[in-house]
Structure 1
Amino acid sequence: MVGAKLTGRWRIASVESPTFVRFQLGAQLKRAREKAGVTTEQAAALIEVSPSTLRRIEQGRVGLKGPALNALLDRYGVADAELRETLRSMAQAGKQRGWWAKYGDLPNSYRQYIGLESAASAIENFETLVVPGLLQTVDYARAIISADASQPTPQATDERVTVRMERQKLLTEEKLRLVAVIDEAVLRRQIGGPEVMREQLSALLDAQKRWNVSIQVIPFREGAYASMVSSFHILSFDEGPGVVYIEGLTGDLYAEGEDVDRCTRVFSSLRAAALSPTASTAMIKRIRDEGTP
C-alpha cells in the first residue's frame, strides 16, 4: 500500500506544527506519484498547476486543497479509505498557522525550517563557523543577522532576533533534545567583539548543564575530518521519518531516506572526533577566560 507508514493513528495534535504536517503529506504524495509512474508534469496538469508548484507541494512548502488532493490520490491509485482520510486530515491541518506566521518578513525557507524544528523531538547539529541558533545569545544573534546582506532594515533584523530567541523555548521548556558538535573555530571567531563572545561562551557553559543539551568541540589539532566544510542539521520526530537540513546561500536543501542514514553516520564520526562533553566544557571555559582569539 502506498504510504503504509501513515495510518489512521496519526495524531492531529501535530497541528502545532502545520509545516511538519505539510512536509509529511508532500513526502507521501511524492512517493505515491513515483510508485504510480506518474510524472511531475502529468500530475501538475491534472490539478491545473505548474510543475514547479507541484514540486513545492511535494516539498511541503505550500498546502493543497481537498479537490486537488482527491484528484491526485485517484490518479495515483490510492484506494485505502483509512489512508485517504488521514491524508485529507493532514491537508486540513496543514492550513493552520504556526506562531511564526505573525512575523511577516521571514523568508519562506526559514519559516519551513522553524515549522519542522518545532515538531522535532531531537536535533543533531554540526556547525563549522557559528554557534547553533538554538544556543545563541541576543547580542551574538544580532551580530550574525546584522552581517547578513539579505536583512535590509533594522526592523527585519529585530524580527529575526526575536524569532531566534522564541525558538530557544524548545530547549528551555524541555520539548527538544539538542546534540551539537562545533568546530573550535566557532569558539574563537570574535563575532560581535570580545564582550559579546565572552557572554556567548558563558551561555554555552550554562546550556551544557541542561539534561537535554550536549555540546562537543572538535579541536584544531584534530586536523581534517568528515564534513568539515558543510554544516547540517538532522531532525528526528516521534512520528514520521527524519530529515536532514542543509542551509545554502542560494537555497536550502531537505533530504530524507538514505541521505539521513548517511548524515547520521557522518555525525557519529564527528562526535567520535570531538572532545567529550566534559572536555569540551573545559575548553569553552578556558577560551572564555583567556579572552583572546
Structure 2
Amino acid sequence: MSEALPSGQSAPTVLRIVLGKRLKELRESRDASLEEAARALGVSHLTIRRIENAQVSLKLPYVRELLRFYEVSDEEAGDFTDMAARANEPGWWHDYRTALPDWFRAYVSLETAAGVIRVYEPHYMTGLLQTRDYARAVIRAGFPYEPDDALEHRVDLRLRRQALLAKDDAPTLWVVLEEAALRREVGGPAVMRAQIEHVMEAAQDPRITLRILPLAAGAHSGASGHVTYFRFQEPELQDIVYTEVGLTSAVYLDQRPDVVAHLEAYTRISRLATELLPDTRSYLDHLRKEFNR
C-alpha cells in the first residue's frame, strides 16, 4: 500500500499492525474473501479491511469470531486475543495527543518499536538528538503563535521520544545530516554550540552513527526531503518508510519497491557523506568553535 498507516485519533501500535496483517494472512489461507469474513461478523467488508489495515482498534468479540471462522485452534486463539487486548492499550504518547498532528501519531508508534532507524535530515538536527533549547527554537519557528504552555508541551514530547535511546534494547540509529542543517543558526550561537556538543557526546554511543553530507556533494539522490526508514524485530512487519509531504501531511510506505528505492538512495548518500567527510567528530569540533562567539 502506498499510504501504509492511517492517521487520526487512534494511531496504531506496531502490535496492532502485526495482528491486522496476521488476520489477513489467516483469511487468505482459508481462501475467504473480505465479503465472506464480513458475513461471519455481520458487518461490511470495509470493516474487515479496516481491521486488517490497522485503521480501527481490534474489538475482541470481532477478533474471536474471525478466529473461529478461520478455524484457529483454541490455544492460538487465546494467545491472539491476549495480544489484541494489549494492542488496544494506548501508548505513552497518548498523554501528548494534543501536541501530535494526526499524520505524525503513527510515526511515534513506529519509532518506539523499531530495531533500526535510518534518518536523512536536510533541514535541522534530527529530533532524537536535539537539545531542549534547540527543539524549542525549531518548534517555535513552526508554531509562531502557539501559547508558551502549549509550546512547552510539544517540546516535552520531543524530549520524551528521546528516552528510547537510553533503553537497554535501544534501536540502532543511523543519521545522515546535511551540512546546511548544522550551519543554519537556530536559537543563537550558544544554543548551536550546546547542540553540537550534545551530538558529539551522543555519537560516542556505538548504537548511534552520524554522517554529515557536505554542501560540496552537490545534487544527490536524497535531496527530495526528510526520510525515515524503520526496521522492526517482528518478522510479520516489513520495513516502513516515512516521508513528509509539505507542512501538514506525510506518507508511510511499505510496498517493497518503494522501500527498496528509498533504502538504496539512503545507502548512496551515506556512502557519499563518508567519502567526502570521513572524520565527523573533527568537523563537529571545528564547527562548535565557530559558534563560540
TM-score (norm 1): 0.79
Judging changes above 3 Å, is the alpha-carbon distance between structure 1 residues 37 and 127 closer, same or farther for their aligned structure 2 residues? farther
1:250 to 248, 251, 266: 248
Name the CA distance, whole Å, in 2 between partners of 1:193 and 1:170: 28
3-state SS of paired residue (2:58)? coil
Give the aligned length. 273
Counting aligned pairs with the same residue, the percent is 33
AA matched with 2:267: S
Contact 2:134 2:191 in 1 (8 A): yes
3-state SS of paired residue (1:274)? helix
Deviations 1:194-218 (A, max 9, x none): 2211211111111111111110011
Judging changes above 3 Å, is the alpha-carbon distance between structure 1 residues 48 and 151 closer, same or farther for their aligned structure 2 residues? farther
Matched, 1:132 2:126: yes
Name which of structure 1's ranges 233-242 and 210-219 shifts more when overlaid on structure 2.
Answer: 233-242
Contact 2:12 2:106 in 1 (8 A): no
AA matched with 1:96: E
Q: Report how far residue 262 of structure 1 moved.
A: 2.5
Matched, 1:95 2:66: no
Deviations 1:249-275 (A, max 9, x none): 332222224032332222211111113
**Higher RCO (Cα < 8 Å, 6 or more apart):** 2
Structure 1: gaps spanning 5 or more residues: 1-16
Name the CA distance, whole Å, in 1 between partners of 2:16 and 2:65: 17
Name which of structure 1's ranges 213-222 and 265-274 shifts more when overlaid on structure 2.
Answer: 265-274
1:20 to 14, 30, 33: 14
Q: Report how far residue 32 of structure 1 moved.
A: 5.8
Name the CA distance, whole Å, in 1 between partners of 2:159 and 2:16: 25
Contact 1:18 1:98 in 2 (8 A): no
AA matched with 1:159: H
Partner of 1:146: 140
Judging changes above 3 Å, is the alpha-carbon distance between structure 1 residues 275 and 72 closer, same or farther for their aligned structure 2 residues? same
Matched, 1:163 2:157: yes
Contact 1:151 1:157 in 2 (8 A): no
Judging changes above 3 Å, is the alpha-carbon distance between structure 1 residues 269 and 151 closer, same or farther for their aligned structure 2 residues? farther
Structure 2: gaps spanning 5 or more residues: 1-10
Name the CA distance, whole Å, in 2 between partners of 1:139 and 1:190: 12
Superposition pairs for residues 1-293 of structure 1, below 5 Å?
19-29=13-23, 38=33, 48=43, 51=46, 57-72=51-66, 78-81=70-73, 84-107=77-100, 108-149=102-143, 152-174=146-168, 175-240=170-235, 241-248=238-245, 249-258=247-256, 259-275=258-274, 278-291=278-291
AA matched with 1:256: D
AA matched with 2:266: F
Deviations 1:54-83 (A, max 9, x none): 665444353120222345557xx7334366
Contact 2:117 2:228 in 1 (8 A): yes
3-state SS of paired residue (1:236)? strand
Q: Report how far residue 96 of structure 1 moved.
A: 1.4
Deviations 1:17-55 (A, max 9, x none): 971111222333455667857469x9599664794x766
Name the CA distance, whole Å, in 2 between partners of 1:34 and 1:67: 21
Contact 1:18 1:97 in 2 (8 A): no
Judging changes above 3 Å, is the alpha-carbon distance between structure 1 residues 193 and 44 closer, same or farther for their aligned structure 2 residues? farther
Q: Report how far residue 192 of structure 1 moved.
A: 1.7
Judging changes above 3 Å, is the alpha-carbon distance between structure 1 residues 23 and 190 closer, same or farther for their aligned structure 2 residues? same
3-state SS of paired residue (1:226)? coil
Judging changes above 3 Å, is the alpha-carbon distance between structure 1 residues 224 and 151 closer, same or farther for their aligned structure 2 residues? same
AA matched with 1:148: G
Contact 2:40 2:65 in 1 (8 A): no
Contact 2:221 2:268 in 1 (8 A): yes
AA matched with 2:195: Q
TM-score (norm 2): 0.79
Greater than 6 Å deviation, 4+ residue runs: none
Name the CA distance, whole Å, in 2 between partners of 1:265 and 1:201: 28
Contact 2:179 2:214 in 1 (8 A): yes
Name which of structure 1's ranges 260-269 and 196-205 shifts more when overlaid on structure 2.
Answer: 260-269
